[in-house]
């Protein structure tokens, strides 16, 4: 596209991000020193290319998903932090009593507060652990404790109240089978192997196989959940954005924000890229109606991901600027 069309699209995207109102040709005439008819023609061309959409209740245009992507890839410039935002983040990083991971978590909480977006810090502890052993300890005829241990020394236990008639000998027998078959398996793959390999065996041998299977399944799932190292800030902040004034849409997204399996998808298509990455709508694996801006970093040899979740009408310049600033502070701490 020529320079005027690029500048026009940039102006429309940034105006819509700030005002949440369709942008009409009259508002752009003085900015581009053109007649209203010329601006309308240019907007029609951008609409034809798929970068703009017509708002049904107004003569103005709004950016399409394709328009946001073009803006991010070709027109956007990361915004420098204003003094107020920088001071808040600097104060945290300057506190040497805080571990770096805690400083980052606090920064993400501040970002949620100042942007009304949801922020997430994702670790990868559970997938780095392999199963060493699962032990069943009998407390009484109706209560047992399942203890899961990994090769990294992580231990989790979960107490179960047994259904009437559960055979403790069969329970211990399945525990021995799991240890024989699954020791050495990455902990976040154990549940899948339980389903595919262990369940078919015990179905043939164990009378109450469903009850006993569920005990082991729940024990491993609890371990993964407890060690997934996910910290979310501003879970409900995103709902202050006007895109989510529809109750059904709010409920749908709220359910995803509560579901750890969806949250983990935030890092699903991260291909070891150290740059700030932006996934708009269909590009992310979390939800097609949001944008996710994400950055990876390493701390003490552990890979983590920080991410901001917001509407497709996200303030891209500001968020990328903030994540770039955090990245520089992480580098300083590592020097």
301-331 pLDDT tens trace: 677 889 999 999 999 999 999 999 999 998 8
* C-alpha dihedral (247, 251, 123, 101), degrees to nearest 10: 40
CA quadruple 222, 228, 231, 232: dihedral sign: negative
State residue 65's pLDDT score.
96
Are residues 94 and 106 in contact, defined by beta-carbon separation less than 8 angstroms?
A: no
Are residues 206 and 173 in contact, defined by beta-carbon separation less than 8 angstroms?
A: yes
State residue 153's pLDDT score.
77
Q: Describe the chain by its helix, strand, coil percentages, rounded to 5.
A: 55, 20, 25
Alpha carbon distance, N-terminus to C-terminus of the chain: 43
Secondary structure class of 286 (helix, strand, coil): coil
Are residues 90 and 103 in contact, defined by beta-carbon separation less than 8 angstroms?
A: no
Query: Around Cβ 37, how many Cβ atoms within 10 Å?
Result: 10
Per the listing, tokens 């709010």 go with 250
State residue 92's pLDDT score.
93
List the chain residues with pLDDT less than 50: none
Please name each of the domains of the chain with its CATH number.
3-75 (1.10.10.10), 83-124+229-334 (3.30.450.40), 129-226 (3.30.390.10)
- Whole-structure pTM value: 0.71
User: Phi first, then psi: what are they for 300, rounded to 5°?
Assistant: 50, 40
CA 258 – CA 279 distance, rounded (Å): 20
pLDDT tens readout for residues 135-168 = 999 999 899 999 999 887 778 888 999 988 899 9
């Amino acid at each position: 596209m020529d320079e005027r069309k690029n500048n026009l699209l940039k102006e429309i995207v940034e105006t819509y991000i700030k005002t949440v109102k369709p942008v009409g040709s009259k508002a752009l005439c003085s900015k581009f020193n053109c007649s209203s008819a010329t601006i309308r023609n240019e907007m029609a061309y951008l609409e034809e290319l798929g970068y703009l959409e017509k708002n049904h209740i107004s003569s103005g245009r709004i950016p399409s998903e394709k328009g946001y992507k073009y803006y991010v890839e070709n027109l956007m410039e990361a915004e420098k932090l204003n003094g107020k935002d920088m001071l808040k983040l600097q104060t945290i990083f300057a506190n040497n009593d805080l571990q770096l991971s805690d400083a980052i978590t606090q920064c993400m909480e501040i970002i949620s507060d100042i942007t009304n977006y949801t922020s997430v810090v994702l670790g990868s502890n559970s997938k780095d652990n392999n199963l060493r052993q699962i032990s069943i300890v009998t407390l009484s005829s109706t209560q047992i404790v399942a203890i899961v241990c990994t090769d990294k020394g992580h231990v989790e236990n979960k107490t179960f109240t047994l259904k009437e008639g559960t055979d403790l000998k069969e329970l211990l027998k399945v525990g021995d089978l799991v240890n024989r078959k699954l020791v050495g398996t990455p902990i976040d793959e154990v549940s899948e192997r339980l389903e595919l390999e262990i369940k078919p065996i015990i179905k043939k041998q164990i009378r109450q196989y469903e009850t006993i299977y569920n005990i082991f399944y729940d024990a491993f799932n609890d371990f993964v959940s407890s060690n997934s190292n996910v910290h979310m800030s501003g879970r409900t902040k995103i709902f202050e954005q006007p895109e989510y004034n529809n109750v059904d849409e709010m409920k749908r997204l709220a359910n995803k924000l509560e579901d750890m399996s969806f949250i983990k998808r935030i890092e699903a298509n991260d291909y070891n890229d150290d740059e700030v990455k932006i996934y708009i709508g269909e590009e992310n694996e979390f939800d097609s109606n949001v944008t996710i801006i994400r950055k990876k970093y390493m701390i003490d040899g552990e890979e983590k991901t920080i991410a901001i979740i917001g509407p497709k009408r996200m303030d891209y310049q500001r968020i990328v600027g903030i994540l770039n600033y955090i990245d520089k502070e992480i580098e300083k701490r590592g020097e």
